[in-house]
């Protein structure tokens, strides 16, 4: 049982909440799309039960992720995947949510939200599992606290992210920080590494943050530079 009076507990909780906010934008869009065809009197019910079902499913998935991360090499794999998720956060995403069809019944909308959330939550599951340091209590507490923020505050957060790009950068850096710590704590990592490097956890975490932000910014700038070229090429072909 984690010590709730410990500063480390609350730092981990804040990290989990930040992860849910940063990676919950798409989930908020899915909720809106899934409920858009419902009658006004059923929309709040669709949102509530859809979110509840998605949260329960996510806690179950994270529970299994916590067990798997105790196996050799899986924290390394999870850390590398989390680094890539952080990089993708910095790359503009032009994909639309065309595959999300609004349900005309309450059950259909709830099912759409739960299924879509399960498909889209791999990044969230890995990130939260890494931030929780193996504690399902932390996972559950962090997600429960973040529910009202994601559901009712997602529009505000998305607006803030649009107006202040530094918020996205900080979120990506947080994922890199967690990934760096995961790499160091894998069971196959020699203990001599942590002992030979002063403040090893912070060093690895900082390297993870720097890698994510640097690679993400470079890839984003290349993508931005390539778009005019693509448009020119298409117009030339026509």
How much is the pLDDT for 135?
Answer: 79
How much is the pLDDT for 208?
Answer: 93
| Mean pLDDT on 69-96 | 77
- Asked if pLDDT for residue 232 goes beyond 50, the answer is no
Closest Cα partner for 176 from 214, 147, 149, 144? Answer: 214
Measured distance CA(218)–CA(62) in Å, rounded: 31
DSSP secondary structure letter of residue 203: H
Phi, psi of 199 (to 5 degrees): 50, 50
Give yes or no for a contact between 30 and 116, defined as CB atoms under 8 angstroms apart: yes
Q: 98 or 35, which is more confident?
A: 35
Measured distance CA(193)–CA(215) in Å, rounded: 25
Query: 204 falls in which pLDDT band (50, 70, 90)?
Result: very high
How much is the pLDDT for 203?
Answer: 92
| Mean pLDDT on 71-77 | 82
Give residue-wise pLDDT tens across range 169-201: 887 888 888 888 888 888 888 888 888 888 888
How much is the pLDDT for 103?
Answer: 59
Question: ∠ CA 52-53-58 to the nearest 5 degrees?
Answer: 100
Closest Cα partner for 145 from 79, 35, 59? Answer: 59
Share of the chain above pLDDT 70, in %: 71
Give residue-wise pLDDT tens across range 102-156: 556 778 877 777 776 666 666 677 777 778 777 778 777 777 766 666 666 555 6
Q: 159 or 173, which is more confident?
A: 173
How much is the pLDDT for 215?
Answer: 94
What's this model's pTM, rounded to 2 decimal places? 0.63
Measured distance CA(62)–CA(180) in Å, rounded: 19
How much is the pLDDT for 26?
Answer: 59
Sign of the CA dihedral 122, 57, 142, 181?
A: negative
How much is the pLDDT for 227?
Answer: 66
DSSP secondary structure letter of residue 102: P
How much is the pLDDT for 238?
Answer: 46
Give residue-wise pLDDT tens across range 6-42: 777 788 888 887 777 666 655 666 666 677 777 877 8
How much is the pLDDT for 149?
Answer: 63
């Amino acid at each position: 049982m984690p010590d709730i009076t410990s500063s480390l507990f609350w730092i981990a909780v804040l990290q989990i909440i930040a992860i849910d906010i940063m990676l919950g934008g798409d989930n908020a869009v899915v909720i809106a799309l899934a409920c858009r065809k419902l009658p006004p009197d059923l929309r709040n019910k669709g949102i509530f039960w859809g979110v509840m079902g998605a949260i329960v499913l996510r806690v179950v998935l994270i529970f299994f992720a916590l067990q798997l991360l105790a196996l050799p090499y899986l924290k390394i794999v999870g850390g590398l995947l989390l680094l890539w998720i952080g990089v993708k956060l910095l790359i503009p995403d032009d994909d639309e949510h065309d595959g999300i069809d609004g349900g005309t019944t309450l059950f259909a909308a709830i099912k759409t939200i739960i299924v879509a959330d399960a498909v889209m939550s791999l990044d969230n599951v890995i990130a939260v599992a890494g931030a929780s340091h193996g504690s399902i209590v932390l996972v559950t507490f962090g997600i429960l606290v973040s529910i009202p923020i994601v559901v009712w505050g997602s529009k505000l957060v998305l607006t803030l992210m649009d107006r202040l790009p530094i918020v996205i950068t900080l979120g990506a850096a947080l994922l890199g920080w967690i990934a760096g710590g995961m790499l160091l704590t894998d069971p196959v990592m020699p203990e001599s590494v942590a002992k030979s490097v002063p403040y090893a956890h912070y060093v690895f975490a900082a390297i993870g943050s720097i890698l994510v932000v640097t690679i993400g910014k470079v890839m984003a700038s290349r993508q931005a530079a390539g778009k005019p070229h693509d448009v020119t090429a298409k117009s030339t072909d026509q």
